[in-house]
Amino acid sequence: MVVLGISETHCATAAILRDGEVAGCASEERFSRLKNDAGYPRRAIDALLRELGLQPSAIDLVALADSRVASREWMNRVLHDEAYAREYYGIRLDGPRHGLARRARKLGARLRLTDPALGKSPLPPRERLRVATGHLGLPADRIITLDHHACHAAAAYFGAPFSGRPGLVLTCDNSGDGLCATASSGHLTSLARHEAMPSAPGSLGSFYSFVTLLLGMRAGEHEYKVMGLAPYAPARATERAADALRRVFDLTEEGPGLFAWRARGSRYRLLAEATAGLRFDAIAGGAQRVLEEALLRWTRRMRSLYGGERLALGGGVFMNVKANMRIADEAWVRDLFVFPSCGDESNAVGAAYLGYLRLCERAGVPARPRPFGPAYLGPGLVDDEIEATLRRRDLAARHDVSEHERIEEKIADLLVSDGIVARCAGRMEFGARALGNRSILANPSDPRVVPLLNRMIKNRDFWMPFAPTVLREREGEYLVNPKGLASPYMMLAFQSNPKRRDEIVAAVHPSDGTVRPQILDEAWNPAYYRVIQEFERRTGIGAVLNTSFNLHGEPVICSAEDAIDTFERSGLPHLALGRWLISKR
């Protein structure tokens, strides 16, 4: 059985499930080169079908995440048109205090007299279906639509390595199909939803996004910067800001739990007035504390009501690795799985799982969904294509180009001598985290690589920490992980082990000593494992600094062309492209 799962919201993504196993997954942005590109992921679908050697006719079912979606034009406009985004989010301090225009627009939308949001244009269901059928040449009866948070929950539970054992499944995001959070129980091949929070009163995701806007950053993209900035604030300033923010937004626990704005009016204005006179780092710290504590209280409440020692998490709020660390520390959490890159891009996988279960039910055969596994699910690199690209671009005329059968050893040598090497090899990884195949690698013991990466290569904000890849056999030497939780996708944070912190100092948050590691099993990526193993033989350090191979504001690279283009536009000294090494003269 072949199921194609599709998410058409921001960071549009396609996933192919074959006989219950995720065989391919990639986001449209990697091919269009537009960050968080939205809409029907035509290029991603085509690339996955080519990679897997499938014709569209082989697809038994297409599962579309979300009961309804906005047009691609509107979604990309709100993400990339700064002037429109400011107007849409109400980034102003003047105007009506109680948001009468916004409430009137919502009433008009319920009466079908106006659009639900300023300039927002929903995609008509018939047009949505026409795009898919026209592209794939499949009949309409092979296409289904699914609930947004059902897809988040399916990705989290069926993607978890729980082997069908009971688990508590929580989803939390900004909004999807009118909801911002759900609680379900998973067992074998069933998911039973217990309760759901509407997003209209407020959502934890929207709160954090408005704080991101308040700090002059881009909502829907830069929330991770707020999280990275938060630990720099002094404790007293953080608590003062958190108290101010709680007066505006919090989890209410009287009756059914609800994330809610506590006052009416422009949300941006409410936050601006509440935090007037507070430093920017304190606001970030306060927002992070509000998010962590509200999420913890909600999680504890869901567990007390519905039980569960195994916890599966999905939805964009759980991209916050510091909050995930707090949840992991709860004594009752026996096992924790956070779906990799669990924003809306993960709904393509959740939709594929649900579509597979539906096919099995129709056919009267037992369903056997497989856990997510290694994330190397995109297009791969072919040696002949790499060589042709090198010749077409005439790289040897500008750079030193050499071929190495044992390229992993050469990368390790360069990490020791020069400190930084970009690596593009094998199949592209899915999601926001680079996991070694589309990565920039660096010597984690040398703090000098941090300003070099920030200023000459990544153009990142100075306060943002980097992350390490740690060999599975060495995790105890670098991480404090008493429960032995798996972290193959960089979705959890841990305290670093002070005894050997200096060996990975460049990949540790300089303010609080935490790390967001990829713990690497050899079987998941043997070639990347050999790079770190060779580096360890030379240095005694069983880890490397690993950051995504892209320039700031651009998607992670996909192809050999992307790798060369980014290499030449940055301060990168070396690029390992398949078995070829390209070095600047």
Contacts of 358 (CB under 8 A, 6+ apart): 61, 63, 144
Assigned domain for 574 exists = yes
Return the SS3 of 172: strand
* C-alpha dist (Å) from residue 326 to 317, 322, 342, 493: 13, 7, 17, 9
User: Are 142 and 19 contained in the same domain?
Assistant: yes
The CA distance from 341 to 303, in Å, is 24
User: Are 436 and 530 contained in the same domain?
Assistant: yes
What's the confidence (pLDDT) of residue 332? 96
Assigned domain for 164 exists = no
| CATH assignment at residue 448 | 3.90.870.20
User: Are 430 and 477 contained in the same domain?
Assistant: yes
User: Are 289 and 354 contained in the same domain?
Assistant: no
Q: At 524, give phi and psi (nearest 5°).
A: -80, -30
User: Are 354 and 319 contained in the same domain?
Assistant: no
Number of domains within the chain? 3
Assigned domain for 182 exists = no
Assigned domain for 131 exists = yes
pLDDT in tens, the chain (585 residues): 999 999 999 999 999 999 999 999 999 999 999 999 999 999 999 999 999 999 999 999 999 999 999 999 999 999 999 899 989 999 877 655 545 555 555 554 444 444 455 567 789 999 999 999 999 999 999 999 999 999 999 999 999 999 999 999 999 999 999 999 999 999 999 999 999 999 999 999 999 999 999 999 999 999 999 999 999 999 999 999 999 999 999 999 877 779 999 999 999 999 999 999 999 999 999 999 999 999 999 999 999 999 999 999 999 999 999 999 999 999 999 999 999 999 999 999 999 999 999 999 999 999 999 999 999 999 999 999 999 999 999 999 999 999 999 999 999 999 999 999 999 999 999 999 999 999 999 999 999 999 999 988 888 888 999 999 999 999 999 999 999 999 999 999 999 999 999 999 999 999 999 999 999 999 999 999 999 999 999 999 999 999 999 999 999 999 999 999 999 999 999 999 999 999 999
Assigned domain for 372 exists = no
Residue at 192: amino acid letter? A
User: Are 23 and 147 contained in the same domain?
Assistant: yes
Assigned domain for 216 exists = yes
Q: Which residues does residue 471 pair with via DSSP β-bridges, in sequence order?
A: 520
| CATH assignment at residue 122 | 3.30.420.40
E strands, 56-161, are: 61-65, 143-146
User: Are 522 and 412 contained in the same domain?
Assistant: yes
The two tokens of residue 581 are: 């090494």
Assigned domain for 168 exists = no
Nearest partner of 540 among 495, 504, 497, judged by Cα = 504
E strands, 388-488, are: 399-403, 420-424, 438-442, 467-471, 479-480
Domain that holds residue 287: 197-338
The CA distance from 163 to 422, in Å, is 36
User: Are 283 and 395 contained in the same domain?
Assistant: no
The two tokens of residue 139 are: 């009949």
Neighbours of 475 (CB within 10 A): 22
User: Are 304 and 417 contained in the same domain?
Assistant: no
User: Are 87 and 67 contained in the same domain?
Assistant: yes
Contacts of 515 (CB under 8 A, 6+ apart): 467, 468, 478, 479, 493, 494, 495, 496, 504, 507, 508, 509
Alpha helices in 247-346 (DSSP H): 267-274, 280-306, 321-328
Assigned domain for 374 exists = no
The two tokens of residue 199 are: 């997003």
What's the confidence (pLDDT) of residue 121? 75
Q: Which residues does residue 424 pair with via DSSP β-bridges, in sequence order?
A: 438, 577
User: Are 108 and 244 contained in the same domain?
Assistant: no
> Residue 583, CB half-sphere, CA atoms under 13 Å: how many?
12
User: Are 312 and 390 contained in the same domain?
Assistant: no
